[in-house]
Structure 1
Amino acid sequence: MSLFRREPSRRRVEDVDLDSLLALVAESLGYTFAFAPDGTAITLAAGDAPPLAVRLTGLRREAGRRAREDWPMLVSEHLAHAVATAGDQLDVCDLTQVRPLLRTRVEAVDEIPDLTRVVGRHLNADLVELLTVGSRPVRPEESGCWPVPTGQALDLAVANVRAAERLRAEHLELAGTPVTRLTASSPSAATHLRWLPDHLTVPADGVLVVLPDPYTLLLHPVDGIGVVRAIERLRVHAARMDGLSSQVYWWQSGRLTWIRADIVARDGQTRLVVAPPPDFARVLARLAV
């Protein structure tokens, strides 16, 4: 009988399985590998090239949130991305290094191939505010390395946007309807909706908003029944631009609500059919009196 008893592994089964996938992918990419004793990194080596240390903290956190069938793709993308950016001086997993570079960018939900592969939050059902570093979206396994939650990281990016630029305001007309155009120098114009009162007088009932592109906001005050005509003008303009969003939104008390306005062509004629959300319909009814 053996006098020695082997201690059971203290590592979680999930970590062991993930390491097996990492080893498999590393070998398929032509690398030998070695894991850090605490499992926080894997070092890849090939030929005479300098060894590449790849952080795994964020990857492990992201894997814990995903179904196991997603792991092969997650691991492959993580290592492939690390190899592709090996020459970069910037380590996105280092929050101290990237914090000044964090920004936001608003995109249409339908334009994002996989929302699970980006970090962001919804402005409404069809617009999402992405966390970016430089010009590219941050990956969940990168933000997972940071000692702050995702929401706080987005708040840091929003603060950077506010500090970095002030929108340029212009007054113009769309087929006789006055609008204010706010233009940003970065694709973060919609982030500035949080501070609209800093740029123009906002009535108690808010403003109409369209986002023809990530750099631009077009606004019209909700201060009279003329807002019905403004919805038509803004909707037609947004559809013609074919940019970030072709929809008209109502911004009020920090909320961005879609105003459904369908352009219908029938018998050679085009008309706009508006189906406002209940809260906005009550505003219209009050303004019509």
Structure 2
Amino acid sequence: MNLFGRDREPSRRPVEDVDLDSLLALVAESLGYSFEFARDGGSVRLTSVTGSGTGAGEPLVVRLTGLRREAARRAREDWPMLVSEHLAHAVATVGDRLDVCDLEQAKPLMRTRVESVDEVSDLTRVVGRHLNADLVELLTVGTRAVRPEEAGCWPVPPARALDLAVANVRRDERLLVERIELSGTPVTRLTAATPAAATHLRWLGSYLPVPADGALVVLPDPYTLLLHPVDGIGVVRAIERLRVHAAQTDGLSSQVYWWHRGALTLIKADIVLQSGHARLVVAPPPEFAEVLARLAV
């Protein structure tokens, strides 16, 4: 093992860092690289032992600050996967000019993307926050989601990085606003050029009048929002129309949500077949049920 400063006094680094270094060394060797760790443990320099193939030529410097932070949060049995993914990604992207671990490089490219929770294979391997129990807003750089060990390199916490990405989304574009009908029920369609339409819910009032009781929302795909104001008992029919439309699109979510006071709440609505006929069974959350009761008077 070739370590910077190996002739110094015995290391007083935490045993966890030493153990992680040993795992990094094993993975580096399995990938065909020799290695040198920086004195502060913040990076490792990989050099191809064959002198050919991926990574040949100039040594590859891999940042480790974010990896160490992520490892500290995870059980030790997760470390082999974390290290293997980190070094394999570094090798695979050796020709890329973008270093996601460099905040100044990454910041202009930060965006958000909304995904169904069920479609994200491992929520611990991405940076994001829940819009609700069904949907998550992911932090992206370019076209891919940011990994925790990459965000761990930055001098800002992940929540602040997400705020920077949201600000970029707002600067990028203004959504297209259209008035359409779903089986006679008027709704507003907002369309984005990027898969971040739901991010614009934060600024919904700049697109259409939003009553005090909020608006119904469906997300048929990451580029589209369909909305109906909660401003009268006609909202009951709107829930049915929106739910049926969302189910037919088979996109981001088949559910109807209530956007109110900055929160996106599920309005559980199931399509039930009885005697060959489909009907909608709605189980609204208590606060929305109170709104419906008031509007029905």
**Superposition TM-score, scaled by structure 2 size:** 0.94
- 1:174 Cα offset (Å): 0.2
Secondary structure class of the residue paired with 2:61: strand
Deviations 1:37-60 (A, max 9, x none): 111111111133121110000000
Counterpart in the other structure of 2:4: none
Whole-angstrom CA distance in 2 between matches of 1:7 and 1:24? 24
Deviations 1:13-56 (A, max 9, x none): 00000000000000111111111111111111113312111000
- 1:215 Cα offset (Å): 0.3
Provide structure 2 residue ranges, at least 5 long, that are not aligned to the other structure. Answer: 1-7
How does 1:95-106 map onto structure 2 within 5 Å? 95-106=103-114
Return the match for 2:34 from 24, 32, 53.
Answer: 32
Deviations 1:240-271 (A, max 9, x none): 00000000000011111000000111321111
Counterpart in the other structure of 1:155: 163
How does 1:106-255 map onto structure 2 within 5 Å? 106-255=114-263
Counterpart in the other structure of 1:45: 47
Whole-angstrom CA distance in 1 between matches of 2:170 and 2:9? 55
Equivalent residue letter for 1:31: Y
Indicate the larger mover: 21-30 or 47-56. Answer: 47-56
Provide structure 1 residue ranges, at least 5 long, that are not aligned to the other structure. Answer: 1-5
Does residue 10 of the first structure (1) align with residue 12 of the second (2)? yes
Whole-angstrom CA distance in 2 between matches of 1:44 and 1:237? 53
Whole-angstrom CA distance in 1 between matches of 2:15 and 2:141? 33
Secondary structure class of the residue paired with 1:42: strand
Indicate the larger mover: 258-267 or 65-74. Answer: 258-267
Whole-angstrom CA distance in 1 between matches of 2:216 and 2:64? 45
Equivalent residue letter for 2:165: A
Deviations 1:160-187 (A, max 9, x none): 0001110000000000000000001100
Secondary structure class of the residue paired with 1:17: helix
Does residue 88 of the first structure (1) align with residue 96 of the second (2)? yes
- 1:8 Cα offset (Å): 5.2
RMSD: 1.0
Whole-angstrom CA distance in 1 between matches of 2:101 and 2:280? 48
Equivalent residue letter for 1:65: R
Whole-angstrom CA distance in 2 between matches of 1:121 and 1:166? 23
Counterpart in the other structure of 1:56: 64
Counterpart in the other structure of 1:3: none
Percent of aligned positions that are identical:
79
Deviations 1:127-178 (A, max 9, x none): 0000000110001000000000000000000000001110000000000000
Return the match for 2:283 from 275, 278, 282.
Answer: 275
